[in-house]
Structures are given as C-alpha cells and as structure tokens.
Amino acid sequence: MAIRCRKCGREAAIMMRQHRLALCEEHYPEWFVEQTERTIRMFRMFDRSERVLVAVSGGKDSLSLWDVLLRLGYAADGLYIGLGIDGGIRYSDQSYEKCRRFVTERWPGARLIVVDVKEVYGETIPEVAARTLRGRDKPCAVCGLIKRYIMNRVAYDGGYAALATGHNLDDEVAVLFGNVMNWQVGYLARQGPVLPASRPGFARKVKPFCRFYERETAAYALLRGIDYIYDECPYAEGSTSIAYKEWLAKLEEERPGTKLRFYLGFLKAREEGQIRFATDEAELHACEKCGQPTSAPGICAFCRLWEKRRPARAVAAPVLSTEG
C-alpha cells in the first residue's frame, strides 16, 4: 500500500519516520522551507534586514540552503572557493560549474563571489599539502584551515551579518559524537547552530540546516530540480567522520529519531546549564602579515602556510570575482 501525503492524500514522495510524517512532492518542499525559517528564528541566526553570505560547494546541502534563503527573501550572496582538487574526476571544476549554473539558470539575479586559491595564493590545496605535509597525511587539515580563513575574511570584510553553511544533522551529530568520544571539551563548548562573532575580526557563523537529516536535504534538492555534484571529495574516503556517520546510521535505523534527540538534547542540556565545558579563551592579537586575529605568536597559521612559497601573497585579502 502506498504511503499518502498527510496534507493532501496523494502518494508521498518522502516518509520521515522520525517525524511520523509523509509528504508529497508539492508539500515536502513547502515544509522544508518552513522548517528552515523556524530554525533561523529559533536560534536567532539573522533577519531580513541583514545580509548573509552562503558558503557554496556545488553540493546538495549548500545549494539547497542558498535556494531556500533566496525563496524566503533573505539578502543572501554565495561564496565559492576554488580549491584546485582534481582526484581524477575534475572535482573542483565540476563543483564550480554546478554553482555557476545554479545562478545562471535558477537565480540570475543572485551574486556569486568566487575566490580561486591557486590564482590568489599561487598553489592549489593538493600542492600546498604536498609541500607542507610531505605526503604524511591527507590534505584535509590544510584544506579546512584555508577554507575557514577565506570564508571568515570574506564575510567579515564584506560586512555580512552571518556566514551560513549547509551542515546538516548528520554532519553535526557525527562531529558531536566524535567530540564526546574524544572529550574535546573546547569543541563541545563551541558546537552549535550559531557561533557568535565574539571578538573583532570574526564573522558570526550559522547552520540553518542543523535539524535536517541528510536524506531530507537530498530530497529537497531532487524535488526542486537542483543540479548538484554527487561525488564526495576524493580525499574524504576513509575519514573518521564517515565512519561515525555509518555507526550512527545503524542506531538511527533501529531507533528513528536517535540523531535528532542526541543533538537537540545536547543543546538543551548545555543551554540549561546541566552540562558545562571549560573554554580556553586564548589571548588574540593581529597577525603581523594579514591583520586577522590569531593566538599564534607573530603570524597566523594561514600565513605560515605561504611563508616559504610566496610571502607577499599571504598579506593581501582574497581577490574576488563576482558573477550574477
């Protein structure tokens, strides 16, 4: 027997067991947009008078987030960072093409800001990793450092009220699980839907999709006809976070709603003071090269990456190109 949409009785496009809710291809996207708005208001992320920068990668989560915010009427610009990752599938080229087509075909009035790491700093992510890590590890740590720096700087220098990322519930729960398993107290203190801009030089960071399961964001993208890159980053294979997601998926299969209860329960317990984590408020100063806040002596970790390669490149803000 076909599962029916709760609103109209037609055949459902998706069944969400954790919500005991089935919706059709018309009503599911409406529900998804409404729930995103509810999350934004619940955690006081931003309002319609403020400008938001959405970090887009060409994947389902980030493009869906940008789509939803534009549908809701928010002043949302996109930021794409060209990492220069190939992996035999032209990963970065494909990712950029998805973002470009999203603007030209779906939202021609939207603004897409592009920062090409190779063009600005002289090396791709794999090249930086090969030089600094010398084959000892995957480039993920280097990639994360570079992306965080550029996203924060573009958002802060651009005067945006918030930097929004497409992290979904599966992402957040995997990180939370890993932080608990390893008792990463500092990370546990900061993890949440909103990371305030607590000090000058930092942009506020928000995650409007934090309550959505990954399959829910995928369903929205498919039903909306959003063309996104299906491939994972070539370097993601074998990562610890993927292992955590697989373990948690088994729990979710047996007990629907486990991930959502775990995440929201953690946030509630911390908010109500039932659990507390010591925070290490390191003393910050301006980096001697780029001026961004850092706790490292002298220059920041980002600038140190380029010191031996092209020192002059690291002191400048990212060079932007804009489309749309």
pLDDT at site 314: 41
- Percent of the chain having pLDDT more than 90? 77
Length of the chain in residues, anyone?
324
Average pLDDT over residues 208-212: 98
Please give the Cα distance from 277 to 259 (Å, whole number). 21
Average pLDDT over residues 126-134: 89
Radius of gyration of the chain (CA): 20
pLDDT reading at 132 higher than 60: yes
Consult the annotation and say whether 55 binds a ligand: yes
Consult the annotation and say whether 167 binds a ligand: no
- Percent of the chain having pLDDT more than 70? 94
pLDDT reading at 134 higher than 80: no
Please give the Cα distance from 64 to 76 (Å, whole number). 12
Strand 194-195 with 205-206, pairing: antiparallel
Q: How confident is the model at residue 318 (pLDDT cuts 50, 70, 90)?
A: low
Q: How confident is the model at residue 161 (pLDDT cuts 50, 70, 90)?
A: very high
Please give the Cα distance from 47 to 49 (Å, whole number). 6
pLDDT reading at 315 higher than 50: no
Residue 121 burial by Cβ neighbours in a 10 Å radius (0-12, 13-18, 19+): buried
Digit-coded pLDDT (tens) for 245-293: 999 999 999 999 999 999 999 999 999 999 888 776 778 889 999 999 9
What are the sequence ranges of the domains in the chain? 44-323
Consult the annotation and say whether 56 binds a ligand: yes
Consult the annotation and say whether 210 binds a ligand: no
Contact 193, 206 (CB under 8 A): yes
Average pLDDT over residues 49-61: 97
Consult the annotation and say whether 303 binds a ligand: yes
Average pLDDT over residues 9-24: 95
pLDDT at site 311: 46
Domain 44-323 superfamily per CATH = HUPs (3.40.50.620)
Consult the annotation and say whether 154 binds a ligand: no
Q: Which residue has the higher pLDDT, 5 or 319?
A: 5
Consult the annotation and say whether 287 binds a ligand: yes
Consult the annotation and say whether 233 binds a ligand: no
Query: Coil, helix or strand for 209?
Result: coil
Consult the annotation and say whether 57 binds a ligand: yes
Consult the annotation and say whether 24 binds a ligand: yes
Q: How confident is the model at residue 200 (pLDDT cuts 50, 70, 90)?
A: confident
Angle between helices 214-224 and 60-71 (to 10 degrees): 60
Average pLDDT over residues 124-132: 92
Average pLDDT over residues 185-200: 90
Q: How confident is the model at residue 321 (pLDDT cuts 50, 70, 90)?
A: low
Contact 60, 99 (CB under 8 A): no
Digit-coded pLDDT (tens) for 75-116: 999 999 999 999 888 999 999 999 999 999 999 999 999 999
Consult the annotation and say whether 27 binds a ligand: yes
Separation of CA 75 from chain center: 18
Q: How confident is the model at residue 317 (pLDDT cuts 50, 70, 90)?
A: low
pLDDT at site 313: 47
